[in-house]
Chains A and B, each alone.
Chain A
Amino acid sequence: MSLLPNAAVLLGKELRTEFRSRELLTTTVVFILIVIVLFSFTFDPTSDESRRFAPGLLWLAFLFASSLMLQPCFLREQQNDTLSALRLSVSDPFAIFLAKVAANTLFLLLTELLLLPIFAVMYNVPITRVLHWLVLVFFLASLGISTAGTALSAISAQARMRELLLPLLMLPLLTPILVASTEVTKRLFEREPAVQWTGIGFLAVFDVVFLTALWLFGEYLLEE
């Protein structure tokens, strides 16, 4: 069986597992809410200041949350050694990664879209006019976070102190995503919103580079 059908079947499994328990989604959403509230204590969330700081806070919250959300990704597969079963069953190991990247991107995107209106209300930022651009940024950033994070999660699952290790590995690596997403979002939150195409470009480049790297090196990440 070829790559895409395999990945689709596995994606179905990832989605079914998650939507049955919804544990990843709920804990991630609650975590981001907590972070957003805590952030509010560190500055005065009135109109002008919040518009300057809000994008950065939003993306920091997403990054921290994702570094936690991506932990179970491969840890789950260690529980009953289902990873071996997957490796035995698929013809191309990249299918395993593709499915997980797609699933994680979707989960991240869902939490982000869920929290966006709440964030907008709490920090008084306008989002309706630029909603479609925000979705684009969210998608590209989530794809990048998910790609790098899934790869690193496969690494940290095989080391000690994995709960602390994954954020340690992920956060410096994802700096370009933080920088680019914040800038683009900032511009979109302004009174005269504009689309920062260079920023979007960086996100796209990151996504392509890391998807390619994952495709080239994925099978080694799964080696026993």
Chain B
Amino acid sequence: MTPPSFSPVGLRFENIDKRYGGLLALRSVSLAIAPGECVVFAGRNGSGKTTLLRIAARLVRPSRGSVSFSESSGDGNENVIRPGFVAHATMVYDELTAEENLLLFARLQDVQRPEDRVDALLKEVGLSERRASLVRTFSRGMRQRVAIARALLHEPAVLLFDEPATGLDPQGVAWLADAIRRLRDSGSTILMSLHGESEISSLGTRAIRLDAGSIAADTRTGATFRSILAIADA
């Protein structure tokens, strides 16, 4: 991937509570993520991984607490701090072509020279030939690639992946792992929620297990990678 034009960004979650109805999906979660870290979140369904990521994406407002981003150098570019988010849903329009989708989001985010940026991304994710096809006609793997291209349009310094490998065949997983590796190596801060061990989990520089809305284990405080990922699905 082309070298990014941003400087690495760190994240801080401070005392995050998220209440849905009577239940706490997240309980007093505090976490500091250094610039450039690649963090894997493991945990059972309902442990709060998706909620935490959506709070980081600012799609969900925490009931209490806050999330903040910090830059290593005072770049001040607001856009860069907007995280790129890849979820299980593709978040692109089926009735538009790949190119139309990307141009739409590029323009909304005030990306410079949007047509060129879209061209470059389509090439990077290997969809140049299908750029004029409706997303509705794409396979699951291809849709994931459009989703990633969408997330990368504004060159975010922070990337959030919520179970990105779901529904992908081994080829798709390999491609995804490669893409994430390159992003990590170019300095992006990455948060991923995953199920168990895989090609992708091995890219992480840190692992955290969430259990019933709280942090149960963290490689930073001594737990091993393997133990976090293995127990998670029990």
Q: Which residue numbers of A lie inside 8 Å of B, CB to CB?
A: 1, 6, 9-10, 13, 16-17, 20-21, 79-82, 84-90, 223-224
Asked if A84 meets B95 with Cβ closer than 8 Å, knowing A13-B104, A16-B100, A89-B105, the reply is no
- Compute how far the CA of A193 lies from the CA of B100 in the bound complex, rounded to whole angstroms: 48
* B60 & A88 in contact (Cβ 8 Å cutoff): no
The binding surface of chain B is classed by DSSP as: loop
* A88 & B57 in contact (Cβ 8 Å cutoff): yes
The binding surface of chain A is classed by DSSP as: helix
On chain B, the residues within 8 Å of A86 by CB distance are 108
Q: Which residue numbers of B lie inside 8 Å of A, CB to CB?
A: 54, 57-61, 82, 85, 87, 89-96, 100, 104-105, 107-110, 150
On chain A, the residues within 8 Å of B96 by CB distance are 13, 16-17
B198 to chain A minimum Cβ distance, whole angstroms, is 23
A196 to chain B minimum Cβ distance, whole angstroms, is 41
Q: Which of A85, A223, A224 contacts B91 (CB 8 A)?
A: A85
- Compute how far the CA of A82 lies from the CA of B135 in the bound complex, rounded to whole angstroms: 13
* B54 & A224 in contact (Cβ 8 Å cutoff): yes
Closest A residue by C-beta to B87:
A81
Closest A residue by C-beta to B108:
A89
On chain A, the residues within 8 Å of B105 by CB distance are 85, 89
14 contacts between A and B (CB under 8 A): A1-B108, A1-B110, A16-B96, A17-B96, A21-B95, A79-B94, A81-B87, A81-B89, A84-B89, A85-B105, A85-B150, A86-B108, A88-B57, A88-B59
* A88 & B61 in contact (Cβ 8 Å cutoff): no
* B94 & A84 in contact (Cβ 8 Å cutoff): no
Closest B residue by C-beta to A23:
B95
B110 to chain A minimum Cβ distance, whole angstroms, is 4
Which 4 interchain pairs have the tightest Cβ spacing?
A81-B89, A85-B91, A89-B108, A1-B110
On chain B, the residues within 8 Å of A81 by CB distance are 87, 89-91
* A6 & B92 in contact (Cβ 8 Å cutoff): no
On chain A, the residues within 8 Å of B59 by CB distance are 84, 87-88, 224
